Structure 1
Amino acid sequence: MKSGYFITFEGPDGAGKTTVINKLVDLLNLGDEVLLTREPGGSKIAEKIREIILDPKNEEMDDKTEALLYAAARAQHLEEVINPALKAGKLVISDRYLDSSLAYQGMGRGLGIDAVYQINQFATDGLLPDLTILLDLKPEEGLKRIGKYRSEDRLELAGLEFHQKVYTGYQEVAKKYPERVKMVDASQSVDQVVADCLQLIKEKLPNLVKGE
């Protein structure tokens, strides 16, 4: 690759982002030219902030504090990890990015999508993904999956009403940025979700897929 490319995966809790990303990477013909990362986290300092945000013991955290902590973790993640990889011409794939804040804090916490976007404009210097794949799954199903497969963090424990707002937030984000954000039905089998995501990537970067 002559220049870097930035792909993010978004979706409600339980949508299967991590599983899908790991399967997709096996199908991409990049070797060490692909960087996998996640948010919140991805670097030492950002991972420390992640622990604070997601710790269920931090019940008293103010919604604005939460939004600012996410933005702070994102700024550090960009500085240490994403920007250097893009500068080196790599494909960067991130499990969550800015749109998570728009959905979770903007809509879920009621801070407003535009207000949270402005906070993150400062944190990211305006860097947006080239492609965002939104794994679309109703919150009821996502929470059911979480309860079945893993422990819940502070946001996962926020309740169905909160997650319904988050889901609405993601729908609004998809409408707001239709050229960048592409939806995939995450209620399908994992193999079908991977195939749909792969097709979206092929449309943008046709030479990335093995055998193509």
Structure 2
Amino acid sequence: MTGTTGAFITFEGGEGAGKSTQVRRLAARLRTGHPVVVTREPGGSPKAEAIRAALLSGVAKPYGPFAEALLFSAARIDHLDTLIRPALARGETVLCDRFADSTRAYQGAAGGLAPDLVTSLERVVVGPTRPDLTLILDLDPALGLARAAKRSAEGAEAGPDRFEAEALAFHTRLRDAFRAIAAAEPGRCVLIDASAEPEAVEAAIRTAVTARLPRLLGEAHGDAA
């Protein structure tokens, strides 16, 4: 569900895939043409950010993936109501670092939650506010975890969060889940090779946005070069 000229673009992928970097880069390019809102999940609103802190600290882990999925859903409801839907209604473009596909992958495929339960939660919470485009940054999980560990060592993060701390097998299931989502919904999703240098990943994302939502980069920049 978008406004007149805007769009809803989500970025997905495993740990260390570079989503945050690529969200910032795309936002900078698009902002030369029209308003862009950058947000993230869980988070994006005060209440959702509070839930994010609890989730990433691991406080809900002992209660299982269903409890985590409910908390993610509560955060998503507030995020949609207070930030995403109003921005789209104004015709702005929303770039979101993670959205409902992460619940499908993390709590669903990797966490073992039944697919029909995840689908039901998504239907109730998300409703018609579906992304126009989802960019799935695909990366070998071992490389992604190494990147995340380096980021933590450099002081950008306070050590591994609840999900980064999971075993490699969990992250392998995540990658498989995201790739399956991309294959099942090719009209919405584009799989991006995130193993390349950031500039090459940015170029691939720009190509995907130009192909799927040409009005955005056409307005933001004379061409996609």
TM-score range, shorter chain: over 0.9
Cα shift at 1:179: 0.6
Q: TM-score, normalised by structure 1?
A: 0.94
Contact 1:17–1:95 (8 Å) recurs in 2: yes
Shift of 1:194: 0.2
Gapped regions of structure 1 (runs ≥ 5): none
Shift of 1:20: 1.1
Farther-moved stretch of structure 1 (148-157 vs 11-20): 148-157
| Residue 191, structure 1, aligned to residue 191, structure 2 | no
The residue that corresponds to 2:186 in the other structure is: 178
- Equivalent residue number for residue 16 of structure 1: 18
Equivalenced residue count is 212
What are structure 2's unaligned runs of at least 5 residues?
153-158
Does residue 29 of structure 2 align to residue 27 of structure 1? yes
Q: How does 1:191-210 map to 2 (within 5 A)?
A: 191-203=199-211, 204-206=213-215, 207-210=218-221
- Equivalent of 1:41 in 40, 43, 48: 43
Query: What is the DSSP-based 3-state SS (H/G/I as helix, E as strand, rest coil) of the residue aligned with 1:135?
Result: strand
CA RMSD of aligned residues (A): 1.6
Query: Of the candidates 174, 181, 195, which is equivalent to residue 166 of structure 1?
Result: 174
Q: 1:39: Cα distance to partner?
A: 0.3
Q: Distance in 2 between matches of 1:28 and 1:3?
A: 12
TM-score (norm 2): 0.89
Structure 1 vs Structure 2: percent identity of aligned residues? 39
Task: Please report how far the alpha carbon of residue 208 of structure 1 lies from its aligned counterpart in structure 2 after TM superposition.
Answer: 3.6
The AA in structure 1 aligned to 2:26 is L
CA deviation profile, 1:161-188 (whole Å, cap 9, x unmatched): 1111111111111122111010110001
Q: How far apart, in 2, do the equivalents of 1:147 and 1:15 lie?
A: 12
Q: How far apart in 2 are the matches of 1:59 and 1:77?
A: 22
Moved segments of 4+, more than 3 Å: 29-32, 56-59
Question: In structure 1, what residue type is equivalent to 2:42?
Answer: P
